[in-house]
Amino acid sequence: MSSKVKVGFIGVGLMGHGMAKNLLEKGHPLVVKGNRNRAPVDDLLARGATEVSTPREMAANSDVIHICLSNAPQVESVFRGPDGILKGMRDGLIVVDCSTSDPNVTLALAAELAERGGHMVDAPLGRTPKEAEAGTLDAMVGADTEVFQRILPVMECWAGNINHVGPVGAGHKMKLIMNTIAMSYAALYSEVTALGAKVGIPPATIQRVIGSSRLGNGFFDTFMSYAVDRDRDAHKFSIANASKDVRYALAMAAEAGALSPMASATRQYFAQVEAQGFAEDYVPFLSDHVARMNGLDLEEEAKKGRD
């Protein structure tokens, strides 16, 4: 695939903006669909992108479309709506869905796209908006081998670690596994941080001891950057999205007949915080809510023993 293919992008939010910016910087003509948050759209337009009002218009004028949305119903809407991708696409269009979505929806949309001569690639993301801006995201890709090879040079504009994990749908399955691990970490770290505070071990001590041991990892470091150091922007990923991802993972497990008691427990933490009205808090903020359930103010506890 030519390095100068025309790329459309739907969903230029926290992750999508950086990805789209890197596509522009690597020389791709870029078309974006505007949304209510004009700041990232206007920034991309100032960098040379053009804007369309519908996915249908984008599909008629793009070789590749990236989608980076919050959930499966949103992805279905941009495909199947009256002004959706399927209404305007031309033969050979490749759609790269970078959302974290329901694999069954992915497979259904892939079939509808294929009937019209197009190709689906599911390429959900790992890491954070910081890496999106730097062009060093992780991507786990579900695609036919030939299509993967064609789209790889485009994906290399915004990803630093790309794994082809199987056919269409495999990328979203892998992402649900990854996010179940991550959100289970978040629930566990929240729980043990509160436990430590209850028994006289300050959060800063947990951060220092665990972070310097073999139990430390990148997610722990990011999570504790908020829980202890109070960096509110350490991991910009909402509790609503986290809850949705674990819910999709549980549905996948149920369909496969797989046990999932740990994922079910993780889901309960996020569901409870959502129900209390904090769905738009970022994932590390879960530590505050779990501390509060234990009668603690984590911000005050975090001051103890902190350098």
**Sequence-ordered alpha helix ranges (H) in 212-296:** 218-227, 239-256, 261-275, 286-293
Which is catalytic among the residues 6, 175, 244, 304? 175
Strands (E) in 37-195, as ranges, are 50-52, 64-67, 94-97, 119-122, 125-126, 137-142, 159-166
Strand pairing report for 137-142 and 125-126: antiparallel
Cβ pair 32, 20 in contact under 8 A:
yes
The answer to whether 198 is a known catalytic residue is: no
Residue type, 143: A
Torsion angle of the four alpha carbons 98, 103, 105, 110, in this order, in degrees rounded to the nearest 10: 70
Contact 104, 97 (CB under 8 A): no
Nearest to 284 by CA among 241, 216, 206, 225: 225
71 contacts 47 by C-beta, under 8 angstroms: no
Q: Characterize the bridge pairing of strands 125-126 and 119-122.
A: unpaired
3-state per-residue secondary structure call for 165-202: EECCCHHHHHHHHHHHHHHHHHHHHHHHHHHHHHCCCC
User: Quick check: 243 and 235 in contact, CB under 8 A?
Assistant: no
Tokens standing for residue 177 = 């596994």
Q: Catalytic amino acids?
A: 175
